């Protein structure tokens, strides 16, 4: 086991992709295998924070005291059987995708940040553009080896319900507490996942590194699609784009069955036009769609279905882009990924701090949510971009205030949270709560909800020592 103690060697573990500062730790321990992490934890009494790859956006891997456990040496990857893969928590999404390339198998969750570790993506229940059809990380986790902060270990498999006791290897058992809290029904990454009849596994996924440590992970794979039909549709006005989404949903997977539906507002397009000169000048919104097909000879008929649907909806096909092969598909993904990159670069140049939202609502509030965003943002006069997962009613609004407008931006953020919560939505559908969204999470679930989550935390981490400061 490696132990790092000097401030210089610890500094990089006290950062992630949030703007959080002020992290502190006595040392970083790096076990060579899960047995070493177990024996370290059995003898440890300090607070412990788990470190993944540090791409998180909520400071959840940054402690204010105690010791950091980094799983970076647990990076083995091998096929468990034909349709599943066994990965160490430190394996990155990039490494997993390379390992699977040309295997005929595919891991559907596709968060934008490919340097994230698989352990980190489980802890945040990460998702990406394809979650519209394929769902989130949780849907692909079959089994984990899990270590509690006191060093007790278990193998958690799908099917072990919270109505049954969680059995640890030392013979002890933990019962799920009697609580009334339930997670919201929309896409959600805020707080612990709690639904009646769920598996124990589901509780640990998305728990922001505060309930247990994943030391081995078995992921379910799907057969690779033969191809993707994809396009970018441009619209003269935003509403025309929004209104297409419920129509696409109404197909219920028949004929039109996209896996991604990603949005770009006017301000995103204006920024993208600098690189992509052929974006139609008059466009005010765009929609990237992607549909997977299982057999290559379905390509033409699927594309025909899209042409027909879009023509029937009076979408001007001449202004739209349709991928002509793998290279275009890549380019369309790059187009999507360029928005946050351009905004981040702009911010660095301007020395500006962005306020980013990650909220979602259920389908029935979708159009009202879009109208609300448009209206309030227009009134605020603040520079902003809106992009993201339109199909999931889940958009990222980046507020880009000047220094003198910081209070206005914060006020607007609060106003948006207030409205989303009135619709029983979530304040985080993707990035989690960590340390920086706790104020809003407390508002979202109220004192009783928080109390229920404390009961869950207390039965798995009696001394409240793991991931201190995250979520609760």
**Residues near ligand FAD, by CB under 6 A:** 16-17, 49-57, 60-61, 71, 89, 111-113, 116-117, 119-121, 123-124, 126-128, 208-209, 213-214, 340, 430-431, 467, 470
Nearest to 287 by CA among 257, 255, 250, 332: 332
- Would you say 146 and 461 are in contact if contact means Cβ atoms under 8 Å apart? no
Distance CA 146, CA 135 (A): 23
Taking the complex as a whole, the smallest distance from the CB of residue 204 to ligand FAD amounts, in Å, to 8
Running DSSP on this structure, what letter comes out for residue 363?
Answer: G
Taking the complex as a whole, the smallest distance from the CB of residue 278 to ligand FAD amounts, in Å, to 25
Strand pairing class (67-70; 27-30): parallel
Taking the complex as a whole, the smallest distance from the CB of residue 305 to ligand FAD amounts, in Å, to 28
Nearest to ligand FAD of 61, 384 (CB atom)? 61
Distance CA 427, CA 416 (A): 9
Helix boundaries (H) for 101-251: 118-123, 131-134, 200-204, 238-249
Nearest to 262 by CA among 356, 394, 350: 394
Handedness of CA 348, 352, 358, 364 (dihedral sign): negative
Nearest to ligand FAD of 54, 306 (CB atom)? 54
Nearest to ligand FAD of 210, 267 (CB atom)? 210
What is each CA distance from 264 to 17, 243, 280, 387, 395, in whole angstroms? Answer: 23, 14, 13, 5, 10
Our measurement of the distance from residue 331's CA atom to the centroid of its chain's CA atoms, rounded to an integer in Å, reads 22
Taking the complex as a whole, the smallest distance from the CB of residue 209 to ligand FAD amounts, in Å, to 2
Tell me the backbone φ, ψ of residue 25, rounded to 5 degrees.
Answer: -155, 150
- Would you say 149 and 48 are in contact if contact means Cβ atoms under 8 Å apart? yes
Residues in the chain: 472
Nearest to ligand FAD of 189, 269 (CB atom)? 189
Strand pairing class (67-70; 48-51): parallel
Nearest to ligand FAD of 207, 291 (CB atom)? 207
Taking the complex as a whole, the smallest distance from the CB of residue 112 to ligand FAD amounts, in Å, to 4
Nearest to ligand FAD of 315, 434 (CB atom)? 434
Taking the complex as a whole, the smallest distance from the CB of residue 165 to ligand FAD amounts, in Å, to 22
Taking the complex as a whole, the smallest distance from the CB of residue 141 to ligand FAD amounts, in Å, to 12
Nearest to ligand FAD of 56, 401 (CB atom)? 56
Decide: helix, strand or coil at residue 400: coil
Tell me the backbone φ, ψ of residue 94, rounded to 5 degrees.
Answer: -55, -50
Taking the complex as a whole, the smallest distance from the CB of residue 131 to ligand FAD amounts, in Å, to 8
Taking the complex as a whole, the smallest distance from the CB of residue 371 to ligand FAD amounts, in Å, to 25
Nearest to ligand FAD of 114, 255 (CB atom)? 114
Our measurement of the distance from residue 372's CA atom to the centroid of its chain's CA atoms, rounded to an integer in Å, reads 24
Angle between helical axes of 406-422 and 366-380 (0-180°, round to 10): 160
Nearest to ligand FAD of 201, 315 (CB atom)? 201
């Amino acid at each position: 086991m490696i132990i790092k103690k000097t401030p210089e060697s610890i500094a990089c573990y006290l950062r992630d992709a949030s703007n959080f500062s002020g992290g502190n730790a006595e040392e970083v321990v790096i076990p060579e295998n899960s047995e070493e992490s177990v024996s370290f934890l059995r003898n440890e009494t300090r607070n412990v924070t788990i470190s993944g790859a540090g791409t998180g956006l909520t400071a959840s891997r940054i402690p204010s005291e105690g010791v950091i456990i980094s799983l970076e040496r647990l990076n083995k990857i091998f096929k468990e059987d034909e349709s599943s893969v066994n990965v160490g928590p430190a394996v990155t999404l990039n490494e997993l995708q390379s390992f699977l390339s040309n295997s005929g198998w595919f891991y559907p969750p596709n968060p934008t940040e490919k340097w994230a570790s698989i352990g980190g993506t489980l802890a945040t229940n990460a998702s990406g553009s394809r979650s519209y059809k394929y769902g989130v990380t949780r849907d692909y986790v079959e089994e984990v080896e899990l270590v509690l902060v006191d060093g007790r270990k278990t193998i958690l498999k799908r099917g072990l319900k919270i109505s049954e006791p969680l059995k640890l290897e030392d013979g002890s058992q933990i019962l799920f507490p009697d609580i009334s809290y339930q997670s919201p029904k929309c896409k959600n990454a805020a707080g612990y996942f709690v639904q009646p009849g769920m598996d124990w596994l589901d509780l640990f996924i998305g728990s922001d590194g505060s309930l247990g440590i994943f030391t081995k992970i078995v992921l379910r794979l799907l057969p690779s699609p033969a191809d993707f039909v994809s396009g970018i549709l441009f619209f003269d006005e935003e509403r025309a784009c929004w209104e297409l989404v419920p129509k696409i949903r109404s197909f219920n997977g028949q004929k039109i069955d996209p896996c991604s539906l990603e949005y770009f507002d006017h301000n995103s397009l204006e920024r993208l036009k600098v690189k992509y000169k052929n974006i139609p000048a008059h466009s005010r919104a765009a929609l990237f769609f992607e549909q997977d097909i299982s057999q290559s000879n379905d390509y033409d008929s699927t594309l025909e279905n899209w042409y027909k649907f879009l023509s029937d909806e009076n979408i001007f096909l001449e202004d739209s882009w349709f991928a002509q092969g793998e290279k275009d598909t890549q380019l369309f993904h790059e187009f999507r990924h360029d928005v946050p990159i351009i905004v981040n670069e702009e911010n660095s140049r301007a020395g500006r701090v962005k306020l980013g939202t990650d909220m979602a609502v259920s389908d029935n509030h979708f159009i009202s949510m879009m109208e609300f965003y448009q209206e309030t943002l227009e009134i605020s006069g603040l520079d902003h971009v809106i992009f993201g997962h339109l199909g999931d009613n889940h958009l990222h609004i980046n507020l880009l205030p000047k220094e003198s407008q910081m209070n206005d931006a914060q006020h607007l953020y609060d106003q948006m949270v207030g409205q989303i919560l009135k619709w029983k939505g979530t304040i985080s559908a993707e990035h989690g709560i960590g340390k920086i969204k706790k104020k809003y999470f407390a508002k979202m679930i109220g004192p009783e909800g928080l109390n229920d989550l404390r009961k869950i935390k207390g039965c798995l981490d009696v001394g409240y020592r793991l991931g201190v400061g995250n979520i609760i």
